[in-house]
Structures are given as structure tokens and as C-alpha cells.
């Protein structure tokens, strides 16, 4: 897979080890991006928070090319509403003086972007030889009898081809013992080998990783990814300063928890204590830009190395391990050349394009104050602007 703009030429020798330039803030011109398209991108994103019923209460957009962070902008509100009124079908707005403005450094509930970190943690173990990509899950977790009986593999978990259903109502279980028993007994309902996106894949993968390493997923991600990359704002919750998400109540939600801010939105992740393979991480736009940059640079950022280039290649080779590849419905014109991405239910997304060495992080609290039918057209439009900015430069 091409890495774009000569990734190998960026490598520097420092103390006998390969090193890549750290991400630094600069201008679109310095990043090799057309300033007109970038201005249009920023204006377009700002407009997403306008009006009485905007696409999102608040938005952060971060984008760049190579080691240059060319865009870091915020608009709207991290906290705009006190509650959701199901009678009027509208949010109950806070007085302006009680709202919290969005900033570039506002943390967000990443929702399913967490899956990317779980996937990288798994590929790290594959690189170390402690995990076999085509190994049977039952070899590591024999007590997960349904997965063992049906021959589910690690690769199937990473590619959502295990046949497991999208989710289980773990949030309705009485206690941790019942939740674990339900997960252990869950058998595939689909045809193994066919793609069915499922949170259960990452929950099983979490158990595999914790079994083979003897460490919790939160520790694996911190020690193996966020700490070496200097991603100090990325962690599992609680995260009190985060952008608000939903006034979570039945019947539109699966639990009655009220307005959420800094507590994981996903009901299953919440039931599991906030640390889960499919959801639970909080992060900022700048931190996620570093994550994107490290993968585009072959697994390194400055002197830190989280994966070798061959294993980044494995991660991003079709059909992708954890990542979705070339999906125009939310990647716009960045799709079609091996671009990798993911979205999160709360309104988060990121995309990295090895062909042009560009990345785009779009974080929004679209579920504030209440979840709604998903609309990824703004994500696709923003990605298209970035693709055109790279093409025109």
C-alpha cells in the first residue's frame, strides 16, 4: 500500500533508531493543502452547529497532511441543553450563561472509535507473537463455549465476520456474573465469513487480550498506545469536562440515566464499568490527530513506535482490521484509494488517507440532547473538501 508523500523519506535516524517528525501546527500552505478548500471546509463545519435544530450542538474539526496540523477549529456548544422534551420533540435549552462553549481541547465520548484502539492493541500482540490472527478464540477462552464450538477466529473478530449479532442487552443483566455468562453462551446467528458489524466482536477480543496479557484493556491501551504517543487527553471515563451527549431515558434509550456528560454513552459499556472493547474511550481532536499521524507514518510518531510498518500494513489492508476502508457514504472523495476510517454513534469520526498522507478528525455531539437517525452527509462533505484540498495543492 502506498504511504503517500514518501513516508520513508520522512524517517530520520536518532540515536541509531528510526524516528518520524512529530505533528506540529501550521498553515494549509505549509501542509501542502489548498487554502481555499480548507477555508470552505472550516466554514462548512461551523455551519453544522447553526440554527434551532442543528446537525450537532458543537463540533471540532482537526485536519492535516504529513506532519503538519493545518486545521484545528471548534464551533457551537459542548453543553447546550438541560434535557430532551419528548412532547415537543425538542431540546430544553440552557440559558446562554449556563452553556459550555466548545473548544478544540474539549474531550468527546468516542463511542465506536474505541474499536480502533482495541484493534491496534490486538495487532500489537500479533506483532509480538503472543496472538495468532487466525487462531481460534476458543484456544484462548475455552470457557466461551459458543465461540469455541463454532470455531470463531481472531481474524473474524477483527473483520466483523464472526457471525455474531450486533449486540446483546448486557445492560439489562442483574450483575457482572450474568453479563459474562450471556457473553460466553452467545453463538453466531449469521454465516461465518459474511460481514455483520457487531460490538460483540470487540468484547470477545477484549477478553482475549486480557487473558493473554494478564492486563486490563485500559492498561493495554494506555501503556501501548496513548502514553508512548503522548496522547494525554485520551482515556476511559469518567471524563467530567467532556462534551455532553444524551438525555438518556427510555423508550428512546436502553437505560434511564438522565443527561450524560463525562460518563460513557453506550449502555453496554456503562454496564461493564466504562471499559469495553467497543466503546468507552474519551479523547480530543488533537490527540486523535496524533493517532492518525502515527499510523500514516508507519506506526511511529517522533521516537515513539506503536507498530512496525508491516503491521500497520496488515491493519489497513482490505478488508481492514477494525478500520472500515473506502466507504464513500461517510468518507466522500477520500474513499477509493485505501483510505481508512470509522465512525462513533455519539457523532465522532476519523479518516486517514495513505494515498495523500492526509487525515481528518470530525468530532460532534450529535446525540445531544437526544439520539436521532444517523446522517453522515456532513462527514462525507468534509472529507471531500480535504481530498480536493490535497489534489489542488
Indicate whether 327 belongs to any domain.
Answer: yes
CA 286/CA 243 separation, integer angstroms: 15
Contact residues for 303 (Cβ-Cβ < 8 A; gap 6+): 14, 17, 19
- What is the percentage of the chain residues whose pLDDT exceeds 70? 95
Indicate whether 233 belongs to any domain.
Answer: no
Indicate whether 148 belongs to any domain.
Answer: no
Contact residues for 319 (Cβ-Cβ < 8 A; gap 6+): 159, 195, 325
Give the model confidence (pLDDT) of 118-165 as tens digits.
Answer: 999 999 999 999 999 999 999 999 999 999 999 999 999 999 999 999
Contact residues for 48 (Cβ-Cβ < 8 A; gap 6+): 54, 55, 56, 59, 75, 76, 364, 378
> What is the mean pLDDT of the segment spanning 314-342?
96
Give the model confidence (pLDDT) of 31-72 as tens digits.
Answer: 999 999 999 999 999 999 999 899 999 999 999 999 999 999
Domain that holds residue 297: 7-108+282-392
The pLDDT assigned to 13 comes to 43
Indicate whether 313 belongs to any domain.
Answer: yes
- pLDDT interval class at 393 (50, 70, 90): confident
Q: Which residue has the higher pLDDT, 19 or 181?
A: 181
CA 278/CA 112 separation, integer angstroms: 6
What's the number of domains the chain is made of? Answer: 1
For the full predicted model, state whether its pTM sits above 0.75.
yes
- Give SS3 for 5: coil
CB 225 within 8 A of CB 141: no
What is the 8-class DSSP label of residue 198?
Answer: -
- Give SS3 for 346: coil
Q: What is the mean pLDDT of the chain?
A: 95
Indicate whether 212 belongs to any domain.
Answer: no
The pLDDT assigned to 3 comes to 39
CATH number for the domain including 360?
A: 3.40.710
> What is the mean pLDDT of the segment spanning 352-370?
98
Residue 334 has pLDDT above 60, yes or no: yes
CA 182/CA 99 separation, integer angstroms: 41
Give the model confidence (pLDDT) of 7-28 as tens digits.
Answer: 443 444 444 455 789 999 999 9
Indicate whether 26 belongs to any domain.
Answer: yes
Whose cell is 467530567? That residue is: 240
Whose cell is 465520548? That residue is: 109
The pLDDT assigned to 18 comes to 57
Cα–chain center distance at 324: 11
Measured CA to CA in angstroms, residue 322 lies from 156, 173, 205 at distances of: 10, 27, 11
Indicate whether 268 belongs to any domain.
Answer: no
Q: What dihedral angle (degrees, nearest 10) is formed by the CA atoms of 377, 57, 359, 293?
A: -150
Indicate whether 342 belongs to any domain.
Answer: yes
Helix %, strand %, coil % for the chain, to 5? 40, 20, 40
CA 341/CA 350 separation, integer angstroms: 6
CB 151 within 8 A of CB 136: yes
> What is the mean pLDDT of the segment spanning 265-290?
98
Amino acid at each position: 500500500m502506498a504511504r503517500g508523500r514518501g513516508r520513508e523519506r520522512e524517517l530520520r535516524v536518532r540515536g541509531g533508531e528510526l524516528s518520524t517528525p512529530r505533528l506540529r501546527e501550521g498553515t494549509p500552505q505549509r501542509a501542502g493543502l489548498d487554502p481555499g478548500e480548507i477555508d470552505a471546509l472550516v466554514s462548512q463545519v461551523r455551519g453544522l452547529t447553526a440554527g434551532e435544530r442543528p446537525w450537532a450542538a458543537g463540533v471540532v474539526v482537526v485536519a492535516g497532511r504529513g506532519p503538519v496540523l493545518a486545521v484545528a477549529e471548534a464551533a457551537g456548544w459542548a453543553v447546550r441543553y438541560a434535557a430532551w422534551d419528548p412532547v415537543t420533540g425538542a431540546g430544553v435549552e440552557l440559558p446562554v450563561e449556563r452553556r459550555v462553549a466548545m473548544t478544540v481541547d474539549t474531550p468527546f465520548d468516542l463511542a465506536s472509535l474505541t474499536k480502533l484502539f482495541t484493534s491496534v492493541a490486538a495487532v500489537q500482540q500479533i506483532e509480538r507473537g503472543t496472538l495468532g490472527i487466525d487462531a481460534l478464540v476458543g484456544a484462548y477462552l475455552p470457557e466461551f463455549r459458543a465461540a469455541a464450538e463454532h470455531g470463531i477466529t481472531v481474524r473474524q473478530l477483527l473483520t466483523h465476520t464472526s457471525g455474531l449479532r450486533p449486540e446483546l442487552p448486557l445492560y439489562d443483566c442483574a450483575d457482572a456474573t450474568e453479563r459474562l455468562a450471556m457473553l460466553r453462551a452467545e453463538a453466531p446467528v449469521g454465516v461465518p465469513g459474511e460481514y455483520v458489524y457487531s460490538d460483540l466482536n470487540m468484547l470477545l477480543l477484549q477478553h482475549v487480550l486480557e487473558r493473554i496479557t494478564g492486563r486490563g484493556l485500559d492498561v493495554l491501551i494506555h501503556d501501548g498506545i496513548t502514553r508512548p504517543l503522548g496522547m494525554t487527553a485520551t482515556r476511559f471515563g469518567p471524563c467530567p469536562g467532556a462534551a455532553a451527549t444524551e438525555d438518556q431515558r427510555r423508550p428512546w434509550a436502553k437505560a434511564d440515566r438522565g443527561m450524560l456528560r463525562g460518563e460513557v454513552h453506550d449502555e453496554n459499556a456503562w454496564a461493564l464499568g466504562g471499559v469495553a472493547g467497543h466503546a468507552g474511550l474519551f479523547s480530543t481532536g488533537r490527540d486523535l490527530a496524533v493517532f492518525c499521524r502515527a499510523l500514516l507514518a508507519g506506526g511511529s510518531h517522533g521516537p515513539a513506535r506503536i507498530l512496525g510498518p508491516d503491521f500497520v500494513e496488515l491493519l489497513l489492508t482490505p478488508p481492514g482490521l477494525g478500520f472500515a476502508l473506502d466507504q464513500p457514504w461517510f468518507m466522500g472523495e477520500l474513499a477509493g484509494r485505501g483510505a481508512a476510517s470509522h465512525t462513533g454513534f455519539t457523532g465522532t469520526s476519523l479518516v486517514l488517507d495513505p494515498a495523500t498522507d492526509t487525515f481528518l478528525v470530525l468530532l460532534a455531539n450529535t446525540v445531544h440532547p437526544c439520539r436521532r437517525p444517523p446522517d453522515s452527509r456532513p462527514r462525507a462533505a468534509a472529507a471531500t473538501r480535504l481530498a480536493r484540498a490535497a489534489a489542488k495543492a
